[in-house]
Amino acid sequence: MRLGFAPLQFFAGGSYESIAVPRTRHEYVSPDPVYWFHDASWYRGEAFIDFLGPTEGPYQPGQQAEERWFGAPLHAYGYGDRDATSMFVGAADLRDTGGHNGYPWSWSDDPAFAQAFRLYRNGQLVGRTAADPLLQVRAPAGRAEYRLERDLNLTGVTGLAHISRTRWWFLSAAPGGQDPYAALPLLDVDYQAAPLGGRNGAVAGRPVTIDLHIARQEGTPPGQVVAATLQLSTNDGATWKEVQLEQVEAGHYWGVLPGSRLRAGTWVSLRTTARDAANSRVAQALIRAFPVR
């Protein structure tokens, strides 16, 4: 569904259209001054995943843009902010390679999948939920070390990216200056994997390049990334093999998954860690990040 907003327009409505994928779709939209919001939903039984796209545009007359949805590896992406007395944290569990944030939901009385979200301050649990990846907690003004944990198990709902575990560590204190709110210095990893086919599958025996783009969430002072690691598993995380990374530029690394380890009928799982100079850290395991065909 795509919604357009003209100047001084505060409401728009639309409806979803069912389509079979993979598919290439061409859309024609009004240019400047209209801004566009795009989202897509994937349904299965009593669960669905809503992929929210960023506000786009305004486009210029004649401009062409390409947008890809559901590109693997799908991965958790953390965000949040705070004021002098409280803190909000959230996670988009299934962010794709196009920057669309995917959120799994269930409308059944019995949960369709297992999840947990926990926040610690100086090692002490201050908030938890097993209902959704959102927390609002009281936060003393003083500087402290926080650890945010997200566990998701979509077994039985999805085959792709069905289990993920992510941990974020960051330092935080009440914001200074005139602005009462400040974004949290959560360190996130974005992935690109190539080549993958139209159904997110690697080709057996052919190497796959993994690009890691590591940065704090937008709105925080940038932190220099000083360390990153990448590991590969082809047995759902039972064992892991280190993948050598090469730094391309600040916060950008790439490594190659050897084709000899990519056998048809298996799945590639990925595990990453990263740290910046201010000791914001992230550790993430993606089980069944993409298949090998």
Residues 6+ apart with CB under 8 A from 258: 207
Put simply, whether the predicted model's pTM sits higher than 0.95 gets the answer: no
Q: How far apart are the first and last CA of the chain?
A: 31
User: For 259, phi and psi rounded to 5 degrees?
Assistant: -60, -25
Q: How far is CA 36 from CA 6, 14, 56, in A?
A: 9, 12, 5
Confirm if 264 and 204 have CB atoms less than 8 A apart.
yes
Q: What is the pLDDT of residues 88-133, one digit of tens each?
A: 999 999 999 999 999 998 887 788 899 999 999 999 999 999 998 9
What residue segments make up the domains of the chain, in order of their start?
Answer: 2-52, 75-291
Q: What does the pLDDT average to over 213-226?
A: 93
Bridge partners of 102, per DSSP, are: 51
Mean of all residue pLDDT scores within the chain? 93
CA–CA separation, 267 vs 155, rounded Å? 14
Q: Which residue has the tokens 């990519």?
A: 262
Element (H, E) at 248: strand 246-249
